[in-house]
Structure 1
């Protein structure tokens, strides 16, 4: 997701002026550049312009010099010792420089496409098949990127990878929340998010050691194929199976879970497994037909938008903070680990609503403060950016947990997919906002900061879901606090473990 930052590291370059070699084959490189390239205000050679070629002889050029300038017409020259990068191989400089940010937006468009496709598809055909399909696409097209011949093919492949990553993220969220009980939901989601932080730290090391962009892409994508063993071990969501009326399949996966946990389920208890009401289909329109779902959908969509805007605004901006980009990325990845892990406790102590609102407000404030830091203070800017990254990361993780608890099972993936769509719109916009820095360097950070502050205030209008049961259907207007239900495992010290999720999947009012 962030690897391209290290594939487009800026290097010295200048126009290719080899045309003069036809009349002066014995010129040294310095003489060639001095005759064919204009200089800027600081006395350095211009990187994006050259003197227009003429049909004079060398003595005339030396005697009279060249005056007319034009843009580079024959490509650019880069340091010969520089490893191949996206910038040098596809000439992402001068007039083509904006293609770097545009390609990041294309990747984010892929994330948006994945949210549109795989969210509703997961509600329709199941979590497991969508997860496996996305793994295949991510692996195939991720490795394929390392062999693309043109930059536009690169962008197309990155778009497909983005779509598959989006499908994996939202499907993993559903599996993590639907396979555990009330108290373990934040742990299940946020521990998986910690692996995302570890991946960012590994990225810093990989990109530092592998400077060839094709090899870096290969090293980052090929390990996905090792995850194909999920085909044999990944279970379908038992909760989703029950809501679809596929009770017998749900019983089988629950029995398998109990077997792995070395527990047994009493046959009579298993027979009570059934949905609260008769399963019925739901569509994205249901999110807007009911007042409580409409409010949740609107505010959570804005929340994901703000999360994504500030998160990617900081993550994709590591080259602009003034310090070494590899150390900055390592710090960004390192700070994500405690940020995501701390959410486990924050959500339990303060609840979902307050945690979400305050984290958004803090991340926005950090960006706004950065706008007032002088450009010659890179250390202060980087420290504030790291703090902002901490709070933005924690806010994003909170949104995943909060959204999964607010939307009912029959339409959970559709709702989360819709929220993810708004996040991907922000992801598309974030690299483009960076282009506004050419007018004033503070404009991008001012935008990245003001949006989460406004949305953070809106979050106080949401209902609290700490300790509440997951809703299965769209009827419940507010989250229902968890009540004690029949145990499906022998009584133990730990009440929420393994297959105890049936306490959330079925209801037995007589026993209660």
Structure 2
């Protein structure tokens, strides 16, 4: 039997054993449950680095008579603090010169307030103490004393550090291709929880916090791609989009849960402790997850692959002839065992495909993170905004599932970009984000699939970093970010036309199969 026939035989075997049976459903749900636990703490930095509303504490004017609550905008404040856009300046106040204060009779007590004569409005000075408005949540600004414009960069640095750490995503891809999807997935997930807990316990200095933020971003960034690949390789071609949908829905749910935790947490340390605790429980149930059979075959671990196939058949209630497993033995001398990562770059078609994937990832993350980061700066309740922006991904994920199976990956991705370019519609970008994940995993061979996915994801972080600068451009011209978003989306929509269609194709196991992927359709 030829190698090509054997590969088709494996996909056929997967169908015969129940392409979406009890085994696959239970294991994919377990994978996404672990992913859910990890994603809860993914955007902690957005909340602990929020810029609080505050103003100068004005000596001789506050709490007269003394009370447990200091009003944020008392009547006399307009005499004591400069205003901008109807809001008191955060760090500046007028010089207090005393003078005659106003006295009012309230109930049975006299209340003394500062008056316009109490301040020299021609002399503005910096203050050292502050009065805070709104929720009592204590973030790093209040704990580490990060106030005023000259320290604003210290509150935006954690977001940038997150994306810098994600540039090392290819490392997780290499480890996954080298040592297996399961081991790396569980190790990264558990380590993320540990590092976040250490950050909450020991980050009593700003730079220690930044160190832990960088470390956990390096570890965490590989969790999603590895979970996605592991799930994809566990199920058959006709259920790939459905599996991807559950993976993406997990991320949405985790983000929304974080919004609720941040809403009720009293300080940033409590928020991190709660949000990062679930991954620590992986030790008790993570071992149930199976290794990818495709990876086992690609690494010539035939016996383990046969045992895994037998287990799937048993759980799914399918009779499986063990003699069939021997047919995989001929893969021992398959050329896939001798293919190297550098061999990908010997094919002009593969080089073109990798470059196109990098471009599409950069643009989709550019807009995606622009939407996420902007959710905590727009008008209204920051927690509610964040939850809404997270949940709006649900229709985007569902649309990606429906259209990717209905009209194909290529058309879905290209149309998503073009619609977004015309309307700057975030919903379309969410659909593109899901589709590019599926597309990238299906385009490249098993031995290098995780590495390429990680490289494209890491390269896409350039777009994420650029997204953090869009508010500055909006200050120049409010429409400028949307014009840039639209122009980038047009470019991405055109670039996607170079991709082959992968709907109903088998996952390629060799470079040759990947190059000719459109010829490997499966009858479904």
TM-score category by the smaller chain? 0.7 to 0.9
| Residues 190 and 340, structure 1, Cα contact 8 Å, conserved in 2 | yes
Tell me, in whole angstroms, the C-alpha distance in 2 between the residues paired with 1:203 and 1:297: 34
| Residues 197 and 337, structure 1, Cα contact 8 Å, conserved in 2 | yes
Number of residues of Structure 1 aligned to a counterpart in Structure 2: 457
When the two chains are superposed, the root-mean-square deviation of aligned CA atoms in Å is: 3.1
Q: Which residue of 1 aligns with 2:166?
A: 111
In structure 2, the CA distance between the partners of 1:483 and 1:440, relative to structure 1 (3 Å rule), is closer
- Secondary structure in structure 2 of the residue aligned to 1:285: helix
In structure 2, the CA distance between the partners of 1:82 and 1:160, relative to structure 1 (3 Å rule), is same
Q: Which residue of 2 aligns with 1:307?
A: 364
Q: Which residue of 1 aligns with 2:260?
A: 205
| Residues 243 and 472, structure 1, Cα contact 8 Å, conserved in 2 | yes
Q: Which residue of 1 aligns with 2:235?
A: 180
| Residues 287 and 415, structure 1, Cα contact 8 Å, conserved in 2 | no
Q: 1:419 aligns with which of 456, 468, 483?
A: 456
- Where is the strand percentage greater, Structure 1 or Structure 2? 2
In structure 2, the CA distance between the partners of 1:422 and 1:333, relative to structure 1 (3 Å rule), is same
Shift of 1:62: 7.0
Tell me, in whole angstroms, the C-alpha distance in 2 between the residues paired with 1:14 and 1:42: 14
Tell me, in whole angstroms, the C-alpha distance in 2 between the residues paired with 1:152 and 1:75: 23
Q: Which residue of 2 aligns with 1:448?
A: 485
Query: Runs ≥4 in structure 1, deviation > 6 angstroms?
Result: 24-35, 59-64
Q: 1:127 aligns with which of 169, 181, 194?
A: 181
Q: 2:394 aligns with which of 337, 352, 359?
A: 337
Shift of 1:202: 2.3
Shift of 1:25: 12
In structure 2, the CA distance between the partners of 1:245 and 1:341, relative to structure 1 (3 Å rule), is same
Write out per-residue CA displacement over residues 92-122 of structure 1, whole angstroms, 9 at most, x where no aligned residue.
5422223333211111222222x12101111
Write out per-residue CA displacement over residues 416-452 of structure 1, whole angstroms, 9 at most, x where no aligned residue.
1111112222222221333333333333333333212
Moved more, 432-441 or 161-170: 432-441
Q: Which residue of 2 aligns with 1:356?
A: 413
Q: Which residue of 2 aligns with 1:239?
A: 294
Q: Which residue of 2 aligns with 1:399?
A: 436
| Residues 410 and 497, structure 2, Cα contact 8 Å, conserved in 1 | yes
Q: Which residue of 2 aligns with 1:260?
A: 315
| Residues 105 and 429, structure 1, Cα contact 8 Å, conserved in 2 | no
TM-score (norm 1): 0.80
Shift of 1:45: 3.7
Shift of 1:9: 4.4
Moved more, 104-113 or 328-337: 328-337
Shift of 1:395: 0.9
| Residues 500 and 518, structure 2, Cα contact 8 Å, conserved in 1 | no
Write out per-residue CA displacement over residues 286-338 of structure 1, whole angstroms, 9 at most, x where no aligned residue.
34321111111011111111111111101110134434333333332222122
Shift of 1:157: 1.7
Moved more, 401-410 or 325-334: 325-334
| Residues 94 and 119, structure 2, Cα contact 8 Å, conserved in 1 | no
Tell me, in whole angstroms, the C-alpha distance in 1 between the residues paired with 2:467 and 2:301: 42
Tell me, in whole angstroms, the C-alpha distance in 1 between the residues paired with 2:215 and 2:63: 48
Q: 2:508 aligns with which of 439, 455, 471?
A: 471
Tell me, in whole angstroms, the C-alpha distance in 2 between the residues paired with 1:448 and 1:211: 37
| Residues 86 and 92, structure 1, Cα contact 8 Å, conserved in 2 | no
| Residues 332 and 389, structure 1, Cα contact 8 Å, conserved in 2 | no
In structure 2, the CA distance between the partners of 1:356 and 1:484, relative to structure 1 (3 Å rule), is closer
Tell me, in whole angstroms, the C-alpha distance in 1 between the residues paired with 2:435 and 2:509: 21
The answer as to 2:198 corresponding to 1:160 is no
In structure 2, the CA distance between the partners of 1:464 and 1:365, relative to structure 1 (3 Å rule), is same
TM-score (norm 2): 0.78
Tell me, in whole angstroms, the C-alpha distance in 2 between the residues paired with 1:365 and 1:398: 19
Q: Which residue of 2 aligns with 1:462?
A: 499
| Residues 245 and 279, structure 1, Cα contact 8 Å, conserved in 2 | no
Runs of 5+ consecutive residues of structure 2 not aligned to the other structure: 1-41, 101-115
In structure 2, the CA distance between the partners of 1:170 and 1:43, relative to structure 1 (3 Å rule), is closer
